Amino acid sequence: MTLENEQGEQLEYRIVGPDEFDDASEYISMDSPLARALMKKRVDDEVSVSLPSGTQVYCIIAIRYA
């Protein structure tokens, strides 16, 4: 999944289950706040996520399935 943040940076993430979790920076647990906000969303949807660093808004620009 490719997201764009408010600063225009593109971020690549892969949502994984607890048995697939890795310390790779692009892997996020399906139980994380970001992954839960992204579930059932589509390309061009915006999501707002409360993170320890503050609220972040992302736009989904691509979804890929492995």
Residues lower than pLDDT 50 in the chain: none
Claim: this prediction has a pTM higher than 0.75: yes
Place of tokens 């579930």: 39
CA distance linking residue 20 with residue 48, whole number of Å: 25
CA distance linking residue 3 with residue 13, whole number of Å: 8
In the prediction, which pLDDT does 21 show? 67
Whether CATH 3.40.50.460 fits 2-62: no
Each domain of the chain, given as residue ranges in start order, spans 2-62
In the prediction, which pLDDT does 12 show? 95
CA atoms within 13 A on the CB side of 33: 12
